[in-house]
Structure 1
Amino acid sequence: MENLPELKQFFKDKTILVTGGTGSIGEQIVSSLLSYQPKKIVIFSKDDSKQYLMKQKYLTYKNLFFLLGDIRDYDSIEYATRGTDFVFHVAALKQVPICEENPFEAVKTNIIGSENVIRACIFNNVKKVVNVSTDKAVNPTNTMGATKFISEKMFTNANTKLNNKETVFCSVRFGNVINSRGSVIPLFMKQAKDGKPLTVTDPGMTRFIMSISNAANLTLKSIYFSRGGETFIFKMKAIRILTLAEVIQSHYANKGVTNLTVQVVGSRPGEKLFEELIYDHEVNHVVENDELYVILPQKGKDILPFRSCPSPMIRSDKLEFLSKDDILKMIETLEDTW
């Protein structure tokens, strides 16, 4: 994904808040932002252990500040947004099985927490806010997807409601982010290293996939392009989960890990066989460039440099899949970063 030269001027000398900034994606966003010389980046999260580790990693950066708090607590997020230009809202409960088992907690974080972020940003006249969402918000079959669907609606609606006169809100939809915490590739690689069966829930399952650096860059570009109410989607590749497991099985067998098996364990509650990027009713409001689809709000303004898009590719089972060679290269690259 190419960098926009305009981003340097856009972020330079700005004060930026990243909720969930100690998570995989949040930290990558922080790392990407540092190259644009912002005045200040505030990393807001509720995990003191992750904050400690991240502080040690970025000790030389004097424009990073860490703030312990929870988006469920309005007062703490209201304090965090004071004097802020841009907010990247990444904090969420993202694990499908955990949200399925704890729907009340998922609602508190993903819906009520998001409302707190919205209200705090409007109250403090934040310029722009981007909400990190997921393809699971499209035709959701699980609690996590349903809560993210609602949060997307809130971020679109916030552009014209709650007496909002200044703050621009938008969302981004991600697929599976390679090497993010809890994602399938690190799970399979750990299972293989430990000599355990690679657990595939359904042999027909497909997913959209993107690198963590592309996820961060998409988010930075989205907040730059947004005029209010859009949903930005990276044009991703698709992958068969069974093929992924087979490539990892073969790769580790060549490293001497013998007797590895692929075990089909059955779909988990709320799990879909394929993912979708865009609702049917959104298709007529989609524009694109070479990297992104953008769903415009029904009363939204066109955004340059995007063009009309009559037939977006919206299902993970309808795309050309990554080849085994491509998957192997991806695995080898990931191993180099571990």
Structure 2
Amino acid sequence: MFKDKTILVTGGTGSIGSEIVRQLLNHNPKVIRIFSRDESKHFEFQQELSEYKNVRFLVGDIRDKERINYATKDVDIIFHAAALKHVPSSEYNPFEAVKTNVIGVQNVIEAAINNNVEKVVAISTDKVVNPTNTMGATKLLSERLISAAEHYKGNAKTVFSCVRFGNVMGSRGSVIPLFKRQIEEGRDVTLTDKRMTRFMMSIPQASKLVLKAAELSSGGEIYVLKMPVLYITELAETLLEDFNNKRKSKSSSSIVETGIRPGEKIYEELMTIEESERAYDNDKMYAIFSHLSDNTQHSIPKGFKKAERNAYSSKDEKPLTKQEIFKLLENSGLLFN
């Protein structure tokens, strides 16, 4: 699917975007355009990819309609990973989240239609399900914009779809780098509530399934990745134990609750009951068909079956044991050296 194609990755220097780029390079694309507003990350990523002659680095912001339209010229596939993702930041700067996560997404959609792009795959989040915060609400709107684009694109050939997943281990701003830094410095390991559960997956796992969803998409679907669930407090305990087992001097860190931040949830959801009624699944993911479609039978991906009528929530899933958390961290290269 990706061989000899021109591919644009927005947010292409971020944690997910950059891993999508790395995995795409294994598929021999004609060109990958890495679109991001952060010139420092561009420089770092350019050093990493210096041996590749088929990557282009474009400085720009999806808020800039003219810039994203120009970046999309002659593009075959867009992976849209650019977003404002941090819950507290979006709470205190709500219209900035709207500018990127809503207006920016509409700019990407219009650029794709104008340039007759084959496929657009947008990266979404578990925060969109029953959102209690600004970030989740804006990302829910972005999902709705992507789904609606499938129905108003007219004669354009572009196929639009979303991929929704939970927390990505080791990504920028995630808890694991924070916990490790606190442990190494002997400070208290801070978490907001010990009851908190989260879906969690490694960056390469998430990116690989994004590429698979792109291959499967036929228009308007939301692909929900099936992810392990863990208690955040047990994640912190596992990292603290790993540090103490590897270092001569034990860490003086304790695990301390700080209270839930504005807009934060005790548990996360990846799919509602209502969405499950329109969903099909296999062992890796769900495919939720658009509520705007009357007939989806022709779009069911091969190997998928009708999903059970059930919400998919971190509250209801069996959490990983601490041994399993350790193994997940080990396989992801996120334990202490």
Task: Sort the TM-score into its range (normalised by shorter chain).
Answer: over 0.9
Is the Cα–Cα contact under 8 Å of residues 231 and 294 in structure 1 kept in the other structure?
yes
* Alignment partner, residue 5 of structure 1: none
Q: Does the C-alpha gap of structure 1 residues 305 and 247 become closer, same or farther in structure 2, counting only changes over 3 Å?
A: same
- Once the two structures are TM-superposed, the CA of residue 137 in structure 1 deviates from its matched residue by 0.5
Distance (whole Å) between structure 2 residues aligned to residue 201 and residue 118 of structure 1? 37
Identical-residue share of aligned pairs (%):
49
> Which sits farther off after the overlay, 67-76 or 298-307?
298-307
Q: What's the counterpart of residue 283 of structure 2?
A: 290
Alignment match of 1:218 (pick from 205, 209, 222): 209
Q: CA deviation at 1:312?
A: 4.7
Note the C-alpha offset of 1:320: 1.1
Q: Deviations over 1:107-138 (max 9, x none)?
A: 00000000000000000000000010000000
The code of the aligned residue for 1:136 comes to K
Q: Deviations over 1:28-62 (max 9, x none)?
A: 00000000000000000000010011001100000
- Aligned pair count reads 329
Q: Give 1:78's match in structure 2, choosing from 65, 69, 73.
A: 69
Structure 1 length-normalised TM: 0.94
| C-alpha separation in 2, matches of 1:244 and 1:132 | 25
1:181 aligns with 2:172: yes
* 1:140 pairs with one of 118, 131, 140: 131
Check 1:230–1:64 CA distance in 2 against 1; reply closer, same or farther (3 A cut): same
Corresponding residue number in structure 2 for 1:280: 273
Map 1:1-338 onto structure 2 (within 5 A). Answer: 10-163=1-154, 165-254=156-245, 255=247, 256-298=249-291, 299=293, 300=296, 301-312=299-310, 314-333=312-331, 334-335=333-334
The answer to whether the Cα contact below 8 Å between 2:272 and 2:310 also exists between their aligned partners in 1 is no
List gaps (5 residues or longer) in structure 2: none
After superposition, give the CA deviation of every residue in 1:157-198 in whole Å (9 maximum; x if it has no partner).
000114353110000111100111011111111111111111
Q: Tell me how far apart the structure 2 counterparts of residues 259 and 29 of structure 1 sit (CA, whole Å).
A: 38
SS in 2 for 1:132: strand
| SS class of match (2:47) | helix
AA partner of residue 71 (structure 1): I
Tell me, what secondary structure is at the counterpart of 1:199?
strand
TM-superposed deviation, 1:253: 2.4
Letter in 2 for 1:199: T
Aligned-pair CA distance for 1:225: 0.5
TM-score by length of 2: 0.95
The CA distance in 2 between the partners of 1:335 and 1:193, in whole Å, is: 14
Q: CA deviation at 1:252?
A: 1.8
Secondary structure of 2:270's partner? coil
Are 2:273 and 2:311, in contact at CA under 8 Å, matched by a contact in 1? no
- RMSD of the TM alignment (CA)? 1.4
